[in-house]
Amino acid sequence: MRRFAIAALLAAAALPAAAQQKLDFILNWVPGGDHAPYYYAKKLGWYAKEGIDLNLEPGKGSALAVQKVGAGANPIGLADMGNVLLGKAKGADSVAVYNVYANSPQGLYWLKSSGIKGIKDFPGKKIGNPAADGARPMWPALAKANGIDPKSVTWVNIDANSKLSALKAKSIDITTSFYNIHHVFQRELGDDMGFVAWREIGLNPYGNSVIVNAAFLAKNKPLIDKFVKVTQRAFATCVKEPKPCVEALVEANGALKFDNELQNWMLVEVLMSDKFARETALGIHDDGRMKADYELVRDYIGLDKPFDVKTTYTNEFLDRSIKMAK
């Protein structure tokens, strides 16, 4: 009996670990403070415990993430919701399952010494950013909301890492960036920094959300349910204890600096919080806000094909007991 018991234990030890399903998650951009919760949960094995082998893939803009997820090249990704709506109208069928930025993270930067005082001074100027940057498709809505002809500016293609140098060299007049790296612009430009947040000048659509290919979601709901609940838990944990989360991010991405990414994350917390995240559930897409975002994109930018906005998001996987701290 004793020999049989030992043999049984050895056999059990030799069994393979629980099956892991690989999930290729394309980020909206290169890893930064705003991505810390995914790395934290991965480091602690939270995804693996649920049978998820999470592969975090650097991105090159929301537009690209929407294209890749919509086409099924990546089953899951992170993208700006305005771009998700535009992509849906073009046939990129994806569904948002978790909202990260309840407030638009988009901002515009310039040099005060250029004479620019605000968005009304943009006509005739050059705005530089990457071709696939999520700000470009949304620009017509922002321009029209401020009484500016969207075609009155010239867009210049530059690498994301060249924004500050191009601004300083005056090869561009304005650039776009997410609020979570606002501190970098402040440090580099000092008192000469001009800035306005989109949410302060009439445009505050939902920002980054986790999106899933619609066909993949239909076939893998239990997997996505586990992914969302782990992710929601990770974001809530990182709000309470940010340092371990940022440490996990930096450990996985050696070129990053802890202090810089911690500042990044603290700004992300501002973007995560709205009435619905605080009172209903962290990560929720509110029906009223989504309807307004759809109408904004439809009326100001135009959609190739109309659709029911409720097909572009779901709150079914959220744990309603987890809320953003008040």
* Predicted pLDDT of residue 36: 98
Residue where a domain terminates, one of 168, 200, 232: 200
252-300 pLDDT per residue, tens: 999 999 999 999 999 999 999 999 999 999 999 999 999 999 998 998 8
Domain hosting residue 91, numbered range: 19-102+206-312
Residue 91 neighbours by CB under 8 Å, 6+ apart: 70, 305
Q: Give the whole-number percent of the chain exceeding pLDDT 90.
A: 83
In a domain, 158, yes or no: yes
In a domain, 6, yes or no: no
Q: Is the pLDDT of residue 140 over 70?
A: yes
* Predicted pLDDT of residue 18: 58
This prediction's pTM: 0.84
CATH number, position 140: 3.40.190.10
Separation of alpha carbons 144 and 322, rounded Å: 37
- Domains: count for the chain: 2
Separation of alpha carbons 206 and 308, rounded Å: 17
Q: For residues 222 and 134, which has the higher predicted lDDT (pLDDT)?
A: 222
Q: What average pLDDT does the structure give for the chain? A: 92
Same domain, 235 and 267: yes
* Predicted pLDDT of residue 274: 95
Angstrom CA distances, 264 to 67, 187, 243, 272, stand at 27, 13, 12, 13
